Amino acid sequence: ELLAHVRLHLAPKPLLGRRALVTAGPTWEAIDPARGLSNRSSGRQGYAVAQALAEAGAQVLLVSGPTSLPAPVGVERVAVQNAQEMLQAVEAHLAGTDIFVATAAVADYRPAQSAAVKLTKAELGTQIALIPNPDILAQVARHAQRPRLVVGFAAQTHDAEALAAAKRQEKGADLIAVNDVSQPGLGFGSERNRLVLIGPDGRLDLGTADKLALARALVAELARRLSS
Amino acid sequence: ELLAHVRLHLAPKPLLGRRALVTAGPTWEAIDPARGLSNRSSGRQGYAVAQALAEAGAQVLLVSGPTSLPAPVGVERVAVQNAQEMLQAVEAHLAGTDIFVATAAVADYRPAQSAAVKLTKAELGTQIALIPNPDILAQVARHAQRPRLVVGFAAQTHDAEALAAAKRQEKGADLIAVNDVSQPGLGFGSERNRLVLIGPDGRLDLGTADKLALARALVAELARRLSS
């Protein structure tokens, strides 16, 4: 904690005066008060991105789904449960934001119905009907208050970079960070990751490292793009 | 941690020589490597029960779904993801067990199919077909190696005690600890809880307290029943 404060003050500040908004963690889409649909995400990579942005001098708001992580030093956090709440929190804070990084593992679908009291097994039935969730990355990329840099994350287990390139274009993002979760010891729940940045001008391999080191490499690249 | 060791050694040992098996946490029922169905459970009440059993002198095995909690001092832990793995781990360790406490929030249904690679939205579709999971509490209660005391937990948001009394009979458990999660500040994710024990001979209100204090009260009652 002390070290985190020292690092926060001593790191170079290429993003001083910039505002950044980061989403992180899974979303929880309730079926009833006990059951839900979710995504595997510890939130670690997103929290590391928020920390690296703060270290680089940005004013950082972290919109986080349910995780057990403490907010990084110097980062303001808004806690949300589901995708709709996450979109709402993001839109409420978009004005004046320079950098948006969507690391959250947002559920693409939610149950069509959500019950206020716990369902019996019979009431639950044997099918869950799904309806699409809002696409937060695409909505921010097309927003009237679009930040200058919009960065998505893609966790893919196959054809990672090709799918990410398609996702980048379809959603209108500037960059997609590809997170290959098919390799053991990387990604979900792990401290380490491998990130490849996909942009309009090709790919940038940030390598395999711990999530904070990768977050700092990502933030250095974002600062370079913002200043160029 | 040091305090935990001291407490472990100084507490009275009514369960010395007994073996206990505790399930805790949610289960994660995978739809694909990223998506899944789950239950809201921090695992805290179950971990507290495991700790209280160890303090009382029992040899404790904790079969835990995914949580971010450290194993209590003196407790052996087996980590599992889904209900089938949880049942398997429980059955593998049932021989010689005197006390079984099922605190885990086991998903009653799992997706009929689980994909090895992440599904596209189109592949996911708009319905998830469910199939029933094994009922771990009922299977243990009717097992050839049934422990002398079989205790279930019920998280209910309405008609809590009536539903728990029915569940106790239907599943063949000795006791059901009712956990009323409808009250704000109690239950899910909270440090505090309210527990009422439902047995063949009526109800015992353990009151509202932090989860470890309730766990110790529960364990004291279990020790009383085992020795009578």
What topology is assigned to A2-227 in CATH?
Rossmann fold (3.40.50)
pLDDT at A123: 86
Interface of A with B in 147-206 (CB under 8 A): 155-158, 181-182, 188
**Which one is catalytic: B39, B82, B133, B179?**
B39
Closest Cα in chain B, distance from residue A179 (Å): 12
Check: CB of residue A117 under 8 Å from CB of residue A141.
Answer: no
Whether pLDDT at B92 is above 90: yes
Token pair, residue A76, equals 């303001």
B135 touches chain A (CB under 8 A): no
Model confidence at B4, in pLDDT bands (50, 70, 90)?
confident
pLDDT tens digits for range B43-70? 999 999 999 999 999 999 999 999 989 9
Q: In what order do the strands lie in the sheet with B99-102?
A: B76-79, B59-64, B19-24, B99-102, B149-156, B175-180, B192-199, B202-210
Cα within 13 Å of Cα(A67), Cβ side: 28
pLDDT at A31: 95
Residue of A nearest to B107 (CA): A35
Mean pLDDT throughout A199-209? 92
Beta-ladder partners of A209: A193
Task: Kindly list the residues from chain A whose CB atom is less than 8 angstroms away from the CB atom of residue B132.
Answer: 121
If one counts every other C-beta atom within 10 angstroms of the C-beta of residue B57, the result is: 20
Model confidence at B158, in pLDDT bands (50, 70, 90)?
confident
pLDDT tens digits for range B132-153? 999 999 999 999 999 999 999 9
Q: Which residue in A28, A121, A156 is closest to B108 by CB distance?
A: A121
Task: Kindly list the residues from chain A whose CB atom is less than 8 angstroms away from the CB atom of residue B108.
Answer: 121, 124
Looking at per-residue pLDDT, the higher value among A59 and A188 belongs to A59
**Which one is catalytic: A39, A82, A133, A193?**
A39
Q: No. of H helices and E strands in chain A?
A: 7, 12
Number of Cβ pairs < 8 A linking chain A and chain B: 98
Token pair, residue B53, equals 């059993």
Model confidence at A84, in pLDDT bands (50, 70, 90)?
very high
Model confidence at A181, in pLDDT bands (50, 70, 90)?
low
pLDDT at A157: 67
Whether pLDDT at A175 is above 90: yes
Closest Cα in chain B, distance from residue A52 (Å): 23
pLDDT tens digits for range A33-58? 889 999 988 899 999 999 999 999 99
pLDDT at B187: 61
The closest of A200, A150, A208 to A179, measured between CA atoms, is: A208
Q: Which residue in A33, A34, A181 is closest to B33 by CB distance?
A: A181
Whether pLDDT at B9 is above 80: no
pLDDT at A192: 83
Task: Kindly list the residues from chain B whose CB atom is less than 8 angstroms away from the CB atom of residue A28.
Answer: 40
The closest of B40, B8, B12, B15 to B27, measured between CA atoms, is: B40
Token pair, residue B16, equals 């010395």
Q: Which residue in B37, B107, B118 is closest to A156 by CB distance?
A: B118
**Is A39 considered catalytic here?**
yes
A20-24, A117-121, B209-213: least confident range: A117-121
Write down the residue that tokens 């040899």 correspond to.
B59
Task: Kindly list the residues from chain B whose CB atom is less than 8 angstroms away from the CB atom of residue A131.
Answer: 126
Token pair, residue B50, equals 């495991």
Distance CA A217, CA B6 (A): 45
pLDDT tens digits for range B93-107? 999 999 999 999 999
Nearby residues of A188 by Cβ (< 8 Å), 6 or more positions away? A40, A41, A42, A155, A181, B33, B34
Model confidence at A126, in pLDDT bands (50, 70, 90)?
confident
**% chain B with pLDDT above 90:** 72
pLDDT at B84: 98
Model confidence at A184, in pLDDT bands (50, 70, 90)?
low
Q: Indicate yes or no: CB of B34 within 8 angstroms of CB of A155.
A: yes
Task: Kindly list the residues from chain B whose CB atom is less than 8 angstroms away from the CB atom of residue A121.
Answer: 108-109, 132
A107 touches chain B (CB under 8 A): yes
Task: Kindly list the residues from chain A whose CB atom is less than 8 angstroms away from the CB atom of residue B125.
Answer: 130
Looking at per-residue pLDDT, the higher value among A23 and A155 belongs to A23
pLDDT at B162: 87
Closest Cα in chain B, distance from residue A117 (Å): 6
Mean per-residue pLDDT of chain A: 91
Model confidence at A182, in pLDDT bands (50, 70, 90)?
low
Distance CA B47, CA A156 (A): 34
pLDDT at A12: 86
Rounded to 10°, the helix A211-227/A44-55 angle is 50
